[in-house]
């Protein structure tokens, strides 16, 4: 039987750059707000022309939730002067949107610890302008958080800039060396608590946000829950367990996720494990969902759907499937069940969301809610209905 070594928590100090060079010491960056001797690292996010949009999902997610960084501002010249919370959820949060890097630095008052590239373009690469901007940020003394498929530590220009400016680059998506990757072992059968995957009918549809809210709601209800991140944004937000699945060689995807779930189960002894979804099982451009279903073997699935979205992101000739179609595909592909549907309310008002909830509950015969506009208690009820033994937990029955 394969023995799975512990998965490194993302709250441990980040690795040093992978290029071979005798770099000078990097200024210390504290990441734990709970340690009195340290402070939370500060950061600004670059999201030009995309904040609040689909390709700005990394920035959007960090504004909604960030355990690892204190976000000072977002750069998006088209929305400069606005409040990020108002743009996303019509709720002010006092995190401003700035015109450019100079504006963000001026409003910060001092140089932030990190410059986060907050977009997820389909190309996964930096443009020529963006390369220059990242280098400029480094010249000011900011460390870089890069969630793209382009690994900047492998670029000699950026490697030299790290040495010159005494900073580091965190290539979030870069997988471990192949010798350290795991093949699927079957140890997922040792996980005895419910595993719930949050999947969707399209990419960039809110799966991570819903997974975070489910995790928080269950923990607040006294049901110990751990979330497994499977994409770069969740890892940047501070997920304690996770792997950027779309950057792992396909042979190891199921094994890497299995190892992560097993490690979380063994270390945390949770009542529930929630796994963030990626893409959509029906989407021909992505395969991550299939590996999530294989690697985590979820006991239940929450499906995220945007009723007003008619075509897939970046694929205008591909229609978004109906929830019923995606449910049938998921339950045919894997030994699991859909325990509920969550609504992405893009382009919908509150009345339309309410009508959609009623409609889908009648059509599908499962609980339906909107994680952002409805009470999180509905998500707890959804989970308890599917896994009634959780009601017997002392903290719940008290």
The whole-angstrom separation of Cα 228 and Cα 246 is 14
- pLDDT score for 314: 85
Of 54, 38, 14, 8, which is closest to residue 309 (Cα–Cα)?
Answer: 54
Q: Where in the chain is CATH 3.40.50.720? A: 41-171
- pLDDT score for 124: 79
- pLDDT score for 395: 54
Asked if residues 236 and 172 have their Cβ atoms less than 8 Å apart, the reply is yes
The 10s digit of each residue's pLDDT in 223-274 is: 999 999 999 999 999 999 999 999 999 999 999 999 999 999 999 999 999 9
The 10s digit of each residue's pLDDT in 359-395 is: 999 999 999 999 999 999 999 999 999 999 998 776 5
- pLDDT score for 6: 38
* Residue whose entry in the numeric block shows the structure tokens 């999902």: 57
CA 310 from chain center: how many Å? 24
Instruction: Outline where the chain has alpha helix (H).
Output: 57-64, 84-89, 101-108, 128-139, 156-165, 207-220, 232-237, 250-268, 288-296, 323-333, 350-364, 377-386, 394-397
- pLDDT score for 218: 98
Q: What pTM did the predictor assign? A: 0.86
* Residue whose entry in the numeric block shows the structure tokens 């689909």: 54
Taking 50 as the pLDDT cut, the residues of the chain under it are 1-36, 397-398
CA separation, residue 232 to residues 216, 239, 245 (Å): 20, 10, 9
The whole-angstrom separation of Cα 83 and Cα 88 is 9
- pLDDT score for 165: 98
Residue 332 buriedness (CB in 10 A; 0-12 / 13-18 / 19+) = exposed
- pLDDT score for 34: 38
Q: Where in the chain is CATH 3.40.50.300? A: 180-397
Q: Domain 41-171: give its CATH code.
A: 3.40.50.720
Pick the CATH number of 180-397 from 1.10.1050.10, 3.40.50.12280, 3.30.1300.10, 3.40.50.300: 3.40.50.300
- pLDDT score for 14: 38
């Amino acid at each position: 039987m394969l023995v799975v070594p512990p998965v490194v928590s993302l709250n441990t100090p980040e690795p040093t750059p992978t290029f071979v060079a005798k770099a000078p010491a990097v200024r210390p960056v504290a990441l734990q707000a709970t340690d009195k001797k340290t402070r939370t690292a500060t950061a600004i996010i670059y999201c030009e022309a995309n904040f609040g949009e689909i390709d700005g999902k990394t920035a959007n997610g960090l504004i909604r939730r960030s355990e690892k960084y204190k976000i000072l501002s977002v750069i998006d010249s088209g929305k400069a002067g606005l409040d990020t919370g108002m743009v996303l959820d019509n709720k002010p949060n006092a995190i401003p949107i700035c015109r450019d890097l100079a504006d963000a630095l001026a409003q910060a008052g001092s140089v932030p610890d990190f410059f986060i590239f907050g977009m997820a373009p389909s190309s996964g690469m930096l443009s020529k302008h963006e390369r220059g901007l990242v280098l400029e940020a480094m010249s000011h003394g900011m460390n870089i958080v890069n969630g793209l498929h382009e690994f900047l530590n492998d670029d000699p220009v950026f490697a030299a800039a790290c040495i010159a400016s005494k900073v580091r680059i965190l290539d979030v998506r870069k997988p471990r060396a192949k010798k350290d990757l795991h093949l699927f072992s079957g140890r997922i059968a040792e996980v005895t608590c419910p595993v719930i995957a949050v999947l969707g009918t399209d990419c960039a549809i809110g799966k991570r946000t819903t997974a975070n809210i489910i995790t928080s709601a269950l923990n607040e209800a006294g049901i110990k829950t751990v979330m497994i991140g499977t994409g770069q944004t969740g890892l940047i937000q501070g997920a304690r367990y996770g792997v950027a699945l779309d950057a792992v060689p396909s042979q190891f995807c199921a094994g890497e996720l299995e190892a992560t779930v097993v490690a979380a189960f063994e270390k945390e002894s949770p009542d529930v494990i929630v796994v963030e979804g990626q893409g959509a099982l029906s989407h021909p451009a992505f395969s991550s969902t299939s590996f999530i279903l294989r690697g985590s073997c979820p006991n239940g699935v929450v499906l995220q759907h945007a009723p007003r979205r008619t075509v897939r992101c970046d694929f205008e000739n591909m229609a978004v499937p109906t929830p019923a179609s995606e449910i049938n595909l998921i339950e045919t592909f894997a030994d699991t069940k859909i325990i509920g549907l969550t609504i992405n309310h893009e382009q919908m008002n509150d009345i339309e969301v309410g009508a959609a909830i009623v409609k889908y509950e009648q059509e599908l015969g499962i609980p339906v809610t909107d994680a952002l506009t409805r009470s999180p208690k509905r998500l707890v009820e959804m989970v308890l209905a599917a896994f009634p033994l959780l009601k017997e937990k002392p903290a719940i029955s008290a």
